[in-house]
Amino acid sequence: MRRWITASVLFCTVGAVLLCAETPMAKGADPVAETFLTADGIQLHGLFTPSLKNAGTDPVVILLYPPGKDNTMTKGDWKGLATLLSKEGYHVFQFDWRGHGKSTDIKDTARFWNLQGPKDESPPNPFTGSWNSSKLISGAPFPMTKGKIKNELHYKDLFNPEKYAPMYLLDLAAARHHLDTKNDGGDLNASSIYLVGADIAASIGIAWLAIEWNRPAYMWTPSAFPPTGRGTFPTYKYVPQPFPGGLPNELGGGDISGAVWLSPARTPPFTEALLKNLVKDTPKLRENPMLFLHAPKDAKAKLQASFFVDEVLVANPPAKSPLPKLEHTLAEEVKNGENLHGVALLSANVGTEEMILTYLAALQKNRAKLIRKNRGFTAPWSIQLAPDNNLAGSGFGFVRP
């Protein structure tokens, strides 16, 4: 039996309210609709469900559904999981990716289409704009509709959704910034952040974690490619202010307490080689515990879960390896899940929610005393993406300046 599983006994014996409880559970907190901007000018819509316990000191869980046609944060029982989490002392934040749900407004068209360089950056960053004003979006590179600049982005506008996938890293960066502002307002404790996602959100989330560990130490330069020829990987190019008090850059990755991935999967830009290289280039990423859940009859998800645990994160390194063993990074079956995939594993009465809550509770024991620190950021920051769009073929990796 895995170590973290033993925590489930503790939940029931101390009377914590989980799925193992017999009595009806009280109604959870109502979610609050919120909006926030990405660095390239998209207004994203989110839902914030506050913790019912200790607002200013409780951690936050970010729920991530897989980007895709007709997918939104309301599709699947994310709300049910959010309710359970809020009652157990977690704030919960969900949001719609760009082009999904209500996140379709391009509020800053000049920044999005890169018609002019951002005024608060020197020199201007052309790379975000080049991705938006490329052949990946309908109407580009001349984003005019009936004589007006196109000010909406919908999933149907993406000619190649897979190649556009790295742009979702900017959405995650904006969500993190939004939570940092709530942290500074005393609404939550951003020193302890958890991720719970499904399907390809796993590869996007892990790539973002690598960026968090490296901000803002890495930058892309036109002539600098690593000896392996892996290309370039998106990294934080610009952070408006340094961390107050001289806090280290790796604070970004260190704030992530852990992650749970339901039926993990990859999307083509995030190749097997890329994901492996992320950990090689950013070994601290292994410090973020991760649980990969899959149904017994979901062969593809089971294979991917093993790939992430054994080959990407190398949770059980071979003998004489310098890497330490990871006690809390593992793949587990949802025993009664049959062939359910992704978000379908929720609200199916197969024990998924209990496994998530038990795992987070075990991790939070070591994070509960982390104090809230003010971040002091006043604007969302950019992630510099590789300038070419053929990432599926070449991959990308970190490049030191």
Grade residue 109 by pLDDT with cuts at 50, 70 and 90.
confident
- The DSSP letter of residue 230 is -
**106 phi/psi in degrees, rounded to 5:** -90, 95
More confident residue, 173 or 103: 103
Domain annotation covers residue 294: yes
Domain annotation covers residue 111: no
33 contacts 119 by C-beta, under 8 angstroms: no
Domain annotation covers residue 154: no
Domain count along the chain? 1
Q: What is the pLDDT of residues 26-85, one digit of tens each?
A: 577 899 999 999 988 899 999 999 999 998 999 999 999 999 999 999 999 999 999 999
- Residue 34: domain span: 4-101+161-394
Q: Which amino acid is at 348?
A: A
Grade residue 148 by pLDDT with cuts at 50, 70 and 90.
confident
Place of tokens 């992650």: 259
Domain annotation covers residue 148: no
pLDDT value, residue 268: 85
Peptide bond into 123 cis (omega under 30): yes
Place of tokens 């000191």: 57
Domain annotation covers residue 318: yes
pLDDT value, residue 386: 55
Grade residue 149 by pLDDT with cuts at 50, 70 and 90.
confident
The CATH number of whichever domain residue 287 belongs to comes to: 3.40.50.1820
Domain annotation covers residue 108: no
User: Which is it for strands 105-106 and 42-49: parallel, antiparallel or unpaired?
Assistant: antiparallel
pLDDT value, residue 266: 94
Domain annotation covers residue 118: no
Distance CA 197, CA 391 (A): 23
Distance CA 204, CA 162 (A): 12
CA atoms within 13 A on the CB side of 143: 23
- The DSSP letter of residue 278 is H
Task: Give, in degrees to the nearest 5, the angle at Cα 227 between 130 and 164.
Answer: 25
Grade residue 390 by pLDDT with cuts at 50, 70 and 90.
very low
Residue 394 burial by Cβ neighbours in a 10 Å radius (0-12, 13-18, 19+)? middle
Q: Span 363-376, mean pLDDT?
A: 89
More confident residue, 305 or 216: 305
Distances (CA, A) of 106 to 34, 109, 334, 336: 16, 6, 40, 43
Domain annotation covers residue 149: no
Q: Span 108-132, mean pLDDT?
A: 61
Grade residue 138 by pLDDT with cuts at 50, 70 and 90.
confident
pTM: 0.84
Grade residue 115 by pLDDT with cuts at 50, 70 and 90.
low
